[in-house]
Amino acid sequence: MSTITRRIIPAIAIAGTMMLVATGCVAGENATADAPESESTAEAGEWSADTLSIDFATYNPLSLVIKDQGILEEILGDDVAVEWIQSAGSNKANELLRSGSVDVGSTAGSAALLARANGSPIQVIDIFSQPEWSAIVVGPDSDITSVEDLKGKSVAATKGTDPYFFLLQALEEGGLSLSDVEVQNLQHADGRAALDGGSVAAWAGLDPIMAAAESESGDKLIYRNVDFNTYGFLNATEDFITNHPDLAQAVVDAYEKAREWALENPEETAALLAEVAGIDIAVATTVIEERSNLDVSGVPGDDQIAVLEKIAPVLVESGDVQGGKDSVDKALSSIVNATFAEKAVGGE
């Protein structure tokens, strides 16, 4: 295993920020406000809670590295119990965050924006990837060759996730609207099963399930557009950010450590994904080396907001946002909290 050079910030260096209200940092802000260190807390080396609930997901390779290597457990020591909960999709991660079942969850940027626009008090604290993880998929014998051919057809998609928003953008690009297709709201794995079983004509797929469908079932990607995929967002609730900034920092530090390891060990990362997802190593290698850009800054900011601004009108027009444009605009202006990633990446 290669040596990781990025410094992990210990509890004593950040315990003084525990009363910091780390919210409202918009794109482009270098918000790394410091609070006076609490000597009693720093001397004791105590964490702000004795448990941390966090998700892992096959669409988030870094989470698999952290869990497998015990990186968080190593940072937190014996004083904090780490509870790992698997997210089957961005919509499930958002449900876990909203219910308080996890403190930190991984979603696509579009799903995070939708959740915040609809009142979920989450912010992105780290970027885990810039993937091409979605495309429009059809069966091996399908005569559908373009988005335009989807008119009047049934399409499987998981609402509230990047593949769903990919579908909306693809339809618009093809001169169609949501009303031109019949969307079957199925979880990602069920969408693949519906496609393979012939109950839908197409599927808005998500890797690594999508890559496995190509390899195992001969399914075809008829429409790809990397620009329609939003970044991988690591999100935390505002309550967690405000009351447990030391733990939030520990999580982001773990992600930055995992990123360095994954970039230096792509073959091992692919093997880990294959094991957890139950897919062939060749499929996992395609996902990691061709469709998962992990070599991206973990600091959320202008790049992510620029992508979200492109899909904001799509969100509004979909009718999935309560409050419409005003709610989306408000969410855009407040979804980013770069404080922890800036510290982790900058090694402050």
Summarised one tens digit per residue, pLDDT across range 201-252 is: 999 999 999 999 999 999 999 999 988 999 999 999 999 999 999 999 999 9
Does 14 have pLDDT greater than 50?
no
Cβ count within 10 A of residue 199 = 12
Instruction: Name the range with the highest mean pLDDT among 28-32, 43-47, 293-297.
Output: 293-297
- Mean pLDDT calculated for residue range 129-147: 96
CA distance 292 to 285: 10
Does 292 have pLDDT greater than 80?
yes
CA distance 20 to 40: 17
DSSP secondary structure of 105-152? EEEEHHHHHHHHHTT--EEEEEEEEEE--EEEEE-TT----SGGGGTT
Give me the residues paired with residue 106 across strands. 234
How would residue 347 be classed by pLDDT, with cut points 50, 70 and 90?
low
- Mean pLDDT calculated for residue range 288-299: 95
CA distance 108 to 160: 9
Residues near 148 by Cβ (< 8 Å), separated by ≥ 6?
174, 175, 176
Nearest in space to 23 (alpha carbons), one of 197, 293, 245 = 245
Task: List the Cα angle 41/46/51 in 5-degree steps.
Answer: 140
- Helix, strand, coil in percent for the chain, rounding step 5: 50, 15, 30
**Predicted pLDDT of residue 22:** 37
**Predicted pLDDT of residue 346:** 83
**Predicted pLDDT of residue 64:** 98
- Mean pLDDT calculated for residue range 68-75: 98
How would residue 254 be classed by pLDDT, with cut points 50, 70 and 90?
very high
How would residue 6 be classed by pLDDT, with cut points 50, 70 and 90?
very low
Two structure tokens written together for 314: 């799509």
| β-pair type (202-206, 154-157) | parallel
Does 61 have pLDDT greater than 90?
yes
> What are the strands, taking DSSP E only, across the chain?
51-56, 81-86, 104-108, 122-131, 134-138, 154-157, 182-185, 202-206, 220-223, 232-237, 292-293
Does 51 have pLDDT greater than 90?
yes
**Predicted pLDDT of residue 44:** 42
- Mean pLDDT calculated for residue range 93-108: 97
Does 25 have pLDDT greater than 60?
no
Three-state DSSP at 156 gives strand
| β-pair type (134-138, 220-223) | antiparallel
CA distance 236 to 257: 19
CA distance 286 to 273: 11
> Average model confidence (pLDDT) for the chain?
88
Residue 291 DSSP code: S
Residue written as tokens 């690594």? 208
pLDDT tens sequence across 180-199: 999 999 999 999 999 999 99
CB 154 within 8 A of CB 184: yes
CA distance 204 to 158: 8
In a 10 Å sphere around its CB, with 0-12 CB exposed, 13-18 middle and 19+ buried, how is residue 188 labelled? buried
Q: Taking the alpha carbons of 13, 247, 299, 277 in that order, is the dihedral positive or negative?
A: positive
CA distance 121 to 334: 10
How would residue 26 be classed by pLDDT, with cut points 50, 70 and 90?
very low
User: In Å, what is the CA distance from 38 to each residue of 15, 108, 252, 304?
Assistant: 7, 36, 22, 34
How would residue 36 be classed by pLDDT, with cut points 50, 70 and 90?
very low
**Predicted pLDDT of residue 317:** 86
How would residue 45 be classed by pLDDT, with cut points 50, 70 and 90?
low
Cβ count within 10 A of residue 209 = 26
